[in-house]
Structure 1
Amino acid sequence: MTDKPSEDSSISDEAWQKFIEDAERDRATAPKEPSARARMVTERLRQQDARGEEPAGWRTGPARQEMNGRAARRRRRWAIIGVPLAVAVAVVAVRPSLIPGDPFGTAAPSPNGVAASPLPAETAAPTAAPGAADPAVPTVARPFAGSPAERWADGRAGITLPKATPVGTLSEQQVEQALRQTEKLLVDGNLDPATLRGERPETALAVIEPRQKELLDVLTTALRKPDKDHDPLRMFSRFDPAEVKLAGDVVKTRGRMTFKAGEQASVAVHADYTFVYPLVREGSNEVARTIIRRVLDIEVSDPNKYRVTPGKIAVVRYDQEIGNSACDVYDGYLHPHFRSEPRTGATPTGPATDPYDRSKDIDADRAEGCGVVSRT
């Protein structure tokens, strides 16, 4: 049928080619006779459908019709809520606190125990004391309730280091080491569980420049035999384990660390941190909080120019403010006051201060003697 016509045919080449194409198209679209097997399967399915049966097989499984019904309903529901869902996602992206339960941690503190969103790291001195927190009473389950510290970082996470850069003749690595050693002094002296229960803070002592013999002697005496002139609390946080223990295992921390070029080819590191300790007595669920703000000034000089020990830090200044601890007690431990018990130690005589106020330098407006705190 595809042979070319003879030369004496009256049909032109173009007409013959069109005839061939039309014939091929008609052949492809012509209805085909189903095979015998196809006819048998079709008839069996028709009969089962007439009886209300459904054929078994890998596509179905048990309760196929019920499952199909649920799937269809789900598809319809998604089709209906599709547009509102897109709008809701857009709204939540702007105001995530609208979601019940606050899965993104953006809700403010509330007296009903809803978790508070964490504060961003402190990068500069605040302009004022933190506002009033919710009036909830602290419990063992929620020891920072009613405190601004509920939104502070936990323990070591609150000690964030600035990015190290070269300072004078000191390299970036040397500055980084100075920052890390300052961090070790803070962590071991104020957060390590062994130190908190009165053990010797070996790591903290080990980072101090050995040539600072007078300072190390004072600290060693204070830890071994504390008195008014040798008080380990000036550098370290310690509680008498026979008297109190932490309510849980979290100490809240907030502050900042900075550095700049110092004198004598050195880097000067300034650390200013506040630690909040929730405490309970044995056999009691009452929670008391002690708040300590510590300021450290550290220097690390170029070992190529000065007689210093590489990897060690020189403590230029260490200062502290303590809130809610017995006055004029020099046994080397902090003694928090519990509201249900009579106060121990000397009676506070100074003006009331806010231990959470980090907006002023620790030396500004400091009152002499032992004062009271406006909140814990």
Structure 2
Amino acid sequence: MGDPREPPEGGPEGGSGNEDEYRSVVFDESFVRAARIQELSARERLGSGYGRATRPRLGLGGLGSVPRQAIALLLLIVVAFAAAVYFGISSPTRGGSRPAGSQLTVSLMALSPTSPVLPAADPANPFAGLPAGYGDGRAGLAVPAGAATAHYTKIEVARALDTVQSYLVVSALAPSTLIKGDTGAVRDFVTAGQLAQFDQSVAAPRDDRHHAATGWMVRFDPAHTVLATDTVKVAGSMRVDEADDGALQVTTDHTFVYALQAEGAAASAPVTVLSVRRELRFEFDRAELAASQLRLVDAAVQTGPAACDTPQTTYLQPLLATVGGTKPPAPPAVDPGSHSVPAWQLCGVLAGG
């Protein structure tokens, strides 16, 4: 009986009938990877539609055995990562995005006179005693010419200044805001991230440094105060720079002077001249610039003549003059050892008062 390892017809002529003659050829892994063609699997041949048995191998060296889908995915990840790094480093607005928790911080200071509050000498010209440099309303805002900053163009800076100017007009010059209780025109300028804070400040003002309505706007209680004239005198300045986080920043410092009378008084009643200094800091990202909206970050407000112990959070409440002069109440004593009163509740002495 023949060797079961041999074919029934016997070994081929001239051959050894075994694999000894092929043992010198070694098909190791490196040889297979170096092949320029690759045999398709049975499933791939059936699905190819034209019976092709092989495909060319990609000339990627050590990656030649990696499926093309995996290589495409790898390249996609590399490109996405490179784009993220590039835009994260080079984008000029990387710090200018609106902070989710950005809040307005308000500092209010009443300025108490040391002598009785006297009415304007000439009710028809209540601002006669002001020093030079005050303009009428918008003209006194002294808006500078816009100049480009490191990351914002001249056009973007000019848009920011125009938005701030318009905000100052509606928040400190418009009679509808000053004495008629309108808040909608001011609200229209507030960026979306601060709307909730603004609405809370109007609906429930409180002296917690974040929710004083008078931090957002100048307003007087219409039940007690009216404007003797719609003219408001203004002096001050604006400054443009960039915040540490890359946002465009506009800082304003203006003194607004109002002529006021008691509500219901005759036209010849005493006129009180009230000064309100507002130092405000605004920030913008490009979305806010495009929408003509702003972030009011800080507001420092000084108002006088006013009584130290009169709340100023809902309305600014001046000491109104009478014919013989209104004597101011004595400022309350401050005990630095007592923590019952917040440390930020400040009062100053009105110069020349």
Give the 3-state SS of the residue equivalent to 2:156 in structure 1: helix
In structure 1, the partner of 2:4 is: none
What is the identity, as a one-letter code, of the residue corresponding to 2:301? Answer: Q
In structure 2, the partner of 1:223 is: 202
What is the identity, as a one-letter code, of the residue corresponding to 2:171? Answer: G
Deviation at 1:327, TM superposition (A): 3.0
In structure 1, the partner of 2:115 is: none
Deviation at 1:368, TM superposition (A): 6.0
In structure 1, the partner of 2:310 is: 329
Give the 3-state SS of the residue equivalent to 1:203 in structure 2: helix
Give the 3-state SS of the residue equivalent to 1:211 in structure 2: helix
> What TM-score comes out, normalization by structure 2 length?
0.55
Pairing 1:317–2:301 present? no
For 1:187 and 1:243, the matched residues in 2 are separated by 23
RMSD (CA atoms): 3.1
CA distance change for structure 1 residues 316 and 157 in 2, over 3 Å: closer, same or farther?
Answer: same
In structure 2, the partner of 1:370 is: 347
In structure 2, the partner of 1:129 is: none
For 2:333 and 2:219, the matched residues in 1 are separated by 24
Gaps of 5+ in 1: 1-134, 352-365
Superposed, 1:279-318 pairs within 5 Å as 279-281=260-262, 282-283=265-266, 284-303=268-287, 310-318=291-299
Deviation at 1:185, TM superposition (A): 1.8
Give the 3-state SS of the residue equivalent to 2:139 in structure 1: helix
Query: What whole-Å deviation, never above 9, does each CA across 1:22-73 have from its counterpart, x for those lacking one?
Result: xxxxxxxxxxxxxxxxxxxxxxxxxxxxxxxxxxxxxxxxxxxxxxxxxxxx
The structure with higher relative contact order (CA 8 Å, sep 6+) is: 2
Greater share of helix: 1
Give the 3-state SS of the residue equivalent to 2:346 in structure 1: coil
1:155 to 137, 140, 157: 137
Query: What whole-Å deviation, never above 9, does each CA across 1:111-162 have from its counterpart, x for those lacking one?
Result: xxxxxxxxxxxxxxxxxxxxxxxx99532211113332x7510111101211
2:150 to 168, 171, 177: 168
In structure 2, the partner of 1:120 is: none
Pairing 1:180–2:159 present? no
What is the identity, as a one-letter code, of the residue corresponding to 2:144? Answer: P
Report if the CA contact (8 A) 1:196-1:238 is conserved: yes
For 2:133 and 2:269, the matched residues in 1 are separated by 22
Pairing 1:138–2:115 present? no
Report if the CA contact (8 A) 1:184-1:204 is conserved: no
CA distance change for structure 1 residues 167 and 221 in 2, over 3 Å: closer, same or farther?
Answer: same
Give the 3-state SS of the residue equivalent to 1:320 in structure 2: strand
Pairing 1:243–2:241 present? no
Give the 3-state SS of the residue equivalent to 1:371 in structure 2: strand
For 2:196 and 2:332, the matched residues in 1 are separated by 32
Query: What whole-Å deviation, never above 9, does each CA across 1:68-119 have from its counterpart, x for those lacking one?
Result: xxxxxxxxxxxxxxxxxxxxxxxxxxxxxxxxxxxxxxxxxxxxxxxxxxxx
Deviation at 1:367, TM superposition (A): 9.7
For 1:367 and 1:329, the matched residues in 2 are separated by 15
In structure 1, the partner of 2:34 is: none
For 1:257 and 1:350, the matched residues in 2 are separated by 36
Superposed, 1:171-210 pairs within 5 Å as 171-210=153-192
Give the 3-state SS of the residue equivalent to 1:329 in structure 2: coil
Report if the CA contact (8 A) 2:134-2:140 is conserved: yes
Report if the CA contact (8 A) 1:295-1:319 is conserved: yes
Deviation at 1:294, TM superposition (A): 0.6
1:269 to 227, 250, 256: 250
CA distance change for structure 1 residues 227 and 138 in 2, over 3 Å: closer, same or farther?
Answer: farther
Give the 3-state SS of the residue equivalent to 1:187 in structure 2: helix
Q: How many correspondences in the alignment?
A: 220
For 2:163 and 2:333, the matched residues in 1 are separated by 36
Greater share of strand: 2
In structure 2, the partner of 1:233 is: 214
For 1:341 and 1:228, the matched residues in 2 are separated by 30
CA distance change for structure 1 residues 156 and 190 in 2, over 3 Å: closer, same or farther?
Answer: same
Give the 3-state SS of the residue equivalent to 1:370 in structure 2: strand
